[in-house]
């Protein structure tokens, strides 16, 4: 495949297209990871709270590529925020996955009421300095949260992983990320399938001979951000990668843009404080 490498603000690179392993059980995860790698995936998005870091590591070891060809992400969960607990959480993720470094560690949610994301960020900065993590970033951060990190530590996140799909395009946060030199990465990129039947998607799919999911992933790719769809099925894993050989027209991009409905699939970062 010809997946682009997006440049990060720390001189490293992030594969534009990968997979996420949320809600995949321990019995299924190793096969999904090794199959995806076999098909050409190099970016694997996990998290402590997904409960499958160990089986993700099993899949990585089963995959027939070297560790340094892969880009592995994990995330510090809300209950592990704070300097010491975040340092320990990164060590815990490395132990469960069975790696000696992560390519990317993210703060999973800002949890503004908890008000510990700045000290959690200092833990990620120090974990990077200690060689446990190559790149550091955040997830679900609004622009004011980003600015506090930057103002108080001088270190800008490399990545902000946020909800982006046709019915919740998150244009304001994407623009704020761009303005700060932060790469956006889309979670729930397929929007739970809720726009698969929209005329804008169906017509572009018919015109290009692609599936609705491929049209939506291509829309993400053309917007320029990173995207991590999830599937346990080999044919979907393969077709989700096969989005580099066609192009949506300007009119098709505009028709997808018009599907914005302000409708989140996931929680609002301003109020999500789950432990």
Active site residues: 50
Strands in 133-139's sheet, in edge-to-edge order, are 19-20, 43-45, 71-76, 102-107, 133-139, 159-163, 183-187, 226-227
Cβ proximity to ligand NAD: between 22 and 246 the closer is 22
Nearest to 160 by CA among 40, 269, 39, 26: 269
Residue 162 Cβ, how far from ligand NAD at the closest point, in Å?
8
Residues 3, 244: contact at Cβ < 8 Å?
Answer: yes
Residues at the interface with ligand NAD (CB under 6 A): 20-22, 45, 108, 139-140, 161, 187-190, 193, 211, 213, 228-231, 236, 239-240, 266
Residues 6, 220: contact at Cβ < 8 Å?
Answer: no
In the bound complex, which residue of the shown chain has the CB atom lying closest to ligand NAD? 20
Q: Give the angle 76-172-158 at the CA atoms, nearest 5°.
A: 40
Residues 133, 104: contact at Cβ < 8 Å?
Answer: yes
Cβ proximity to ligand NAD: between 238 and 253 the closer is 238
Residue 111 Cβ, how far from ligand NAD at the closest point, in Å?
12
Cβ proximity to ligand NAD: between 41 and 84 the closer is 41
Residue 117 Cβ, how far from ligand NAD at the closest point, in Å?
14
Residue 8 carries which DSSP code?
P
Cβ proximity to ligand NAD: between 11 and 202 the closer is 202
């Amino acid at each position: 495949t010809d997946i682009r490498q997006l440049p990060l603000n720390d001189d490293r690179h992030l594969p534009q297209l990968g997979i996420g392993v949320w809600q995949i059980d321990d019995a299924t995860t190793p096969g999904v990871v090794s199959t995806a790698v076999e098909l050409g995936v190099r970016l694997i998005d996990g998290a402590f709270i997904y409960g499958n870091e160990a089986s993700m590591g099993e899949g990585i070891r089963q995959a027939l590529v070297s560790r340094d060809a892969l880009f592995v992400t994990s995330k510090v969960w809300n209950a592990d925020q704070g300097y010491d607990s975040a340092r320990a959480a990164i060590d815990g993720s490395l132990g469960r996955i069975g790696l000696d470094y992560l390519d990317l560690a993210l703060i999973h949610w800002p949890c503004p009421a908890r008000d510990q994301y700045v000290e959690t960020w200092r833990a990620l900065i120090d974990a990077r300095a200690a060689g446990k993590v190559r790149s550091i970033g955040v997830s679900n951060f609004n622009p004011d949260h980003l600015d506090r990190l930057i103002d108080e530590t001088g270190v800008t996140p490399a990545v902000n992983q946020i909800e982006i799909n046709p019915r919740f395009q998150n244009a304001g946060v994407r623009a704020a990320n761009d303005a700060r030199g932060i790469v956006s990465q889309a979670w729930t990129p397929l929007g739970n399938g809720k726009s698969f039947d929209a005329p804008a998607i169906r017509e572009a799919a018919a015109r290009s001979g692609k599936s609705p999911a491929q049209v939506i992933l291509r829309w993400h790719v053309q917007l320029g951000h990173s995207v991590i769809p999830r599937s346990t099925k080999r044919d979907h894993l393969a077709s989700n990668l096969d989005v580099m050989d066609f192009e949506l027209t300007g009119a098709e991009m505009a028709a997808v843009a018009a599907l914005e409905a302000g409708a989140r699939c996931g929680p609002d970062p301003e109020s999500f404080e789950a432990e």
